[in-house]
A and B are shown apart, each in its own frame.
Chain A
């Protein structure tokens, strides 16, 4: 049955009338029209659908939109500020952090989520965190280098 769901997505309030079974990834992509968030495995394993829910990284493919009613959601479209790419986005471009690109929005959200709470992660901490985001192109070294570079840029500018 349809239920009212209020979400603040990337700073914009949305009041939606959607079925209780609507997954957050589908809500973001089809009800709201933000297609940057991708669906990969559909069972919470691959990380492509990662978004921030009240600042915490969630798998939007196994999250019911109605269950996070009232939350603030941040997607890949919401992390650039004033037309400037987020340092993590810029680092992925500068360090070859992506190949085909399908996993990239989730990788960038995961990296941002790590650096938000641990601005200077060790290499092991980066690996332990980013292991939850799969890249079928296997471009893992580029991704790890991108996260480390973003941490450096952000700590220098912060």
Chain B
């Protein structure tokens, strides 16, 4: 790791001042699980590291009229174990429980994970399926970005110079809807998913599909929302045939990178399989939950 200066600001104003002063030479650090490894591997070589640990007010979780507001510095374990999240956003509690190991979840934060822009992470598909937004704060105020639009390319996000992701706002899923996050882990329990799928399904009284959101992870350079599959199901009876036909459409939506977890072709096939299972399981969880 090349040497750098570490800064301990205690307020966001101080953070913005440091970002102004050091510009491109500075990186903001939350839990550091991603950035420290990137610095060790010299993929990131900032001359200044701005640590957020001492900035207060960024680690609370509150229930609001619009949903649940989660401070960017909440650790992933804090989100996993929070009673508000468990009660109002069970999909999110379950998703964060599946991230890496307890040790990493103690360190890594919800905001740090998002701005890292790694397409293999677990929280983004679930957050996008729930319609969450990220609040980006700068000297000039707040800018609210749907998490769906946060990811531009491989490890590239919409965070602008001078901005810090300060909180994540997650709307509650519609009453009577069901949701699931499936993570295909053929290797080890702490691994990234070979493919992952988050699905939120709400049904009309007659059992047909009122609305559906399907988002996949680990199958492209960003998380991918399967809009064609969603469109094929919306308003239709949730029959086995319709679900299979919709799941087959994700094969055209994904563009997986080949790696030691599998070939692009294999991951494409698994994306279809896990999308089908996710829709089926989300439907069942909605029925038991309502």
- The interface of chain A, by Cβ under 8 A from chain B, is 1, 3, 19-21, 23, 42-45, 47, 50, 56-59, 62-64, 66-69, 110, 113-114, 128-129, 131-132
> In the bound complex, what is the Cα–Cα distance between A69 and B51 (angstroms)?
11
> In the bound complex, what is the Cα–Cα distance between A68 and B36 (angstroms)?
13
Given A20-B3, A21-B3, A131-B189: A67 and B33 interface contact (C-beta under 8 Å): no
> In the bound complex, what is the Cα–Cα distance between A155 and B225 (angstroms)?
48
From residue 84 to 137 of chain B, which have CB atoms closer than 8 A to chain A? Answer: 100-104, 106-107
Question: Could you say which of B4, B33, B49, B101 contacts A62, with CB atoms under 8 Å apart?
Answer: B33
> In the bound complex, what is the Cα–Cα distance between A110 and B101 (angstroms)?
11
Chain B residues lying within 8 Å of A20, measured Cβ to Cβ, are 3-6, 49
Q: Are A58 and B106 in contact, with the CB atoms below 8 A?
A: yes
Chain B residues lying within 8 Å of A21, measured Cβ to Cβ, are 1-4, 39
Question: Could you say which of B51, B101, B102 contacts A67, with CB atoms under 8 Å apart?
Answer: B51
Q: Are A1 and B189 in contact, with the CB atoms below 8 A?
A: no
Interface string of B44-65 (1 = CB under 8 A from A): 0000010101000000000000
Q: Are B107 and A132 in contact, with the CB atoms below 8 A?
A: no
B32 CB–A CB distance under 8 Å: yes
Q: Are B32 and A63 in contact, with the CB atoms below 8 A?
A: yes
Q: Are B101 and A131 in contact, with the CB atoms below 8 A?
A: yes
Q: Are B103 and A44 in contact, with the CB atoms below 8 A?
A: yes
Main secondary structure of the interface of A (DSSP, over half): mixed
Q: Are B106 and A62 in contact, with the CB atoms below 8 A?
A: no
Number of interface residues of B (CB under 8 A): 27
Give, as a whole number of angstroms, the nearest-CB distance from A127 to chain B.
9
Question: Could you say which of B6, B29, B49, B101 contacts A132, with CB atoms under 8 Å apart?
Answer: B101
- A62-B33, A132-B101 provided; 20 other pairs, C-beta below 8 A? A1-B3, A20-B5, A20-B49, A21-B1, A21-B2, A21-B3, A21-B4, A43-B37, A44-B37, A59-B104, A62-B37, A62-B107, A64-B32, A66-B6, A67-B6, A67-B29, A69-B8, A110-B103, A128-B189, A132-B102
Across the A-B interface, the 6 shortest Cβ-Cβ residue pairs = A132-B101, A20-B6, A21-B1, A66-B6, A62-B36, A56-B106
- The interface of chain B, by Cβ under 8 A from chain A, is 1-6, 8, 29, 32-33, 36-37, 39-40, 49, 51, 53, 100-104, 106-107, 188-190
Given A62-B37, A63-B36, A131-B190: A47 and B6 interface contact (C-beta under 8 Å): no
Give, as a whole number of angstroms, the nearest-CB distance from B22 to chain A.
14
Main secondary structure of the interface of B (DSSP, over half): mixed
Q: Are B1 and A45 in contact, with the CB atoms below 8 A?
A: no
> In the bound complex, what is the Cα–Cα distance between A125 and B190 (angstroms)?
15
- Nearest-neighbor residue (CB-CB) of B100 within chain A: A132
Give, as a whole number of angstroms, the nearest-CB distance from A139 to chain B.
17
- Nearest-neighbor residue (CB-CB) of A62 within chain B: B36
- Nearest-neighbor residue (CB-CB) of B97 within chain A: A128
Chain B residues lying within 8 Å of A23, measured Cβ to Cβ, are 36
Chain B residues lying within 8 Å of A3, measured Cβ to Cβ, are 5-6
- Nearest-neighbor residue (CB-CB) of B49 within chain A: A20
> In the bound complex, what is the Cα–Cα distance between A94 and B8 (angstroms)?
45
Give, as a whole number of angstroms, the nearest-CB distance from A54 to chain B.
10
